[in-house]
């Protein structure tokens, strides 16, 4: 039964320093240099284009070929404007809160949010579904904004544990609530397309705060996200 599988395989994440035997993670903040935003997006695209062209040449590719000639520029623009656009705080979703006029006091769940990210260890895709829930502390947020927060933090070089915590902590901050749940179920191409080449396994992570630490409420949330 899928609900049992998730309940057994999810690794709950706490918002504290995380460590992995192979890949140390300092905290739930993305590691960025202090000068990360001194260059404009266009300047970054120019530099990445030059460096990626050199990579392709080093691999032995003929960049005079019509199919390959524009690839360095395309990759550079994809990195800056799409795949890693979540690194730039200027792209953080603008939020507007609304009064909870309906006095809705049950959990609100947004499930099956599709996201695409990139593993920061090999720069290959991570993709999957995020399921998010919260209890209102008096304010509510437009549903599409929840999806946008997931996408904002996914558009970075990531590890799944950090992504899970970042989404949870951001929703706590924006909604001014301690009652947030985030579950992510994802495929990692660094596992599927290289190394062990296991195409069947998935990785589950979870973040629970406030009311969601209550086992009955947590079970209600997990049951709902697993319902067809």
Pick the CATH number of 41-87 from 1.10.286.10, 3.40.50.970, 1.10.10.370, 1.20.1260.10: 1.10.286.10
List pLDDT tens digits, range 33-81: 999 999 999 999 999 999 999 999 999 999 999 999 999 999 999 999 9
Tell me which range, 11-20, 76-85, 134-143, is most confidently predicted by mean pLDDT.
Answer: 76-85
Closest listed residue to residue 170, CA positions, set 113, 107, 92, 110: 92
Cβ(83)–Cβ(124) below 8 Å: no
Active-site hit among 110, 119, 166, 170 = 119
Q: Is 118 a catalytic residue?
A: no
The pLDDT of residue 195 is 73
Q: Is 160 a catalytic residue?
A: yes
List pLDDT tens digits, range 84-136: 999 999 999 998 899 998 899 999 999 999 999 999 999 999 999 999 999 99
Cβ(177)–Cβ(135) below 8 Å: yes
Was domain 2-31+96-226 assigned CATH 3.30.1130.10?
yes
The pLDDT of residue 27 is 57
Q: Between 1 and 74, where is the model more confident?
A: 74
Q: Is 54 a catalytic residue?
A: no
Question: Three-class SS of residue 85?
Answer: helix
Q: Between 141 and 10, where is the model more confident?
A: 141
Cβ(106)–Cβ(147) below 8 Å: no
Q: Is 188 a catalytic residue?
A: yes
Active-site hit among 3, 81, 120, 178 = 120
Active-site hit among 3, 81, 190, 220 = 190
For residues 99 and 137, give the distance between their C-alpha atoms in angstroms, rounded to a whole number: 10
Predicted confidence band of residue 30 (pLDDT cuts 50, 70, 90): very high
Model pTM score: 0.85
Kindly list the distances between the CA atom of residue 89 and the CA atoms of 36, 180, 184, in Å, as whole numbers in the listed order.
11, 22, 23
Q: Is the pLDDT of residue 3 over 50?
A: no
| Average confidence score pLDDT of the chain | 88
For residues 15 and 28, give the distance between their C-alpha atoms in angstroms, rounded to a whole number: 7
Active-site hit among 151, 158, 160, 166 = 160
Q: Between 101 and 25, where is the model more confident?
A: 101
Q: Is the pLDDT of residue 15 over 60?
A: no
Domain ranges of the chain: 2-31+96-226, 41-87
Beta carbons within 8 Å of 112's beta carbon, 6+ residues apart:
129, 131, 225
Q: Is 120 a catalytic residue?
A: yes
């Amino acid at each position: 039964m899928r609900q049992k599988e998730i309940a057994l395989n999810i690794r709950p994440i706490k918002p504290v320093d995380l460590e992995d035997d192979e890949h140390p993670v300092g905290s739930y903040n993305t590691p960025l240099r202090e000068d990360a935003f001194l260059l404009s997006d266009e300047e970054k695209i120019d530099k990445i284009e030059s460096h990626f062209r050199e990579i392709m040449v080093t691999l032995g590719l003929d960049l005079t070929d019509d199919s390959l000639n524009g690839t360095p520029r395309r990759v550079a623009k994809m990195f800056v404007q799409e795949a890693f656009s979540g690194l730039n705080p200027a792209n953080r979703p603008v939020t507007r809160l609304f009064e909870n006029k309906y006095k809705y006091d049950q959990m609100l769940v947004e499930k099956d949010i599709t996201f695409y990210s990139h593993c920061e260890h090999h720069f290959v895709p991570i993709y999957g579904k995020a399921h998010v829930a919260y209890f209102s502390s008096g304010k509510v947020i437009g549903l599409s904004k929840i999806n946008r927060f997931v996408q904002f933090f996914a558009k970075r070089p990531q590890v799944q544990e950090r992504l899970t915590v970042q989404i949870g902590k951001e929703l706590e901050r924006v909604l001014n609530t301690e009652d947030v749940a985030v579950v992510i179920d994802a495929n990692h191409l660094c596992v599927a397309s290289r190394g062990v080449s296991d195409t069947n396994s998935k990785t589950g992570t979870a973040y629970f705060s406030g009311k969601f630490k209550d086992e009955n409420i947590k079970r209600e949330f997990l049951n709902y996200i697993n319902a067809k």
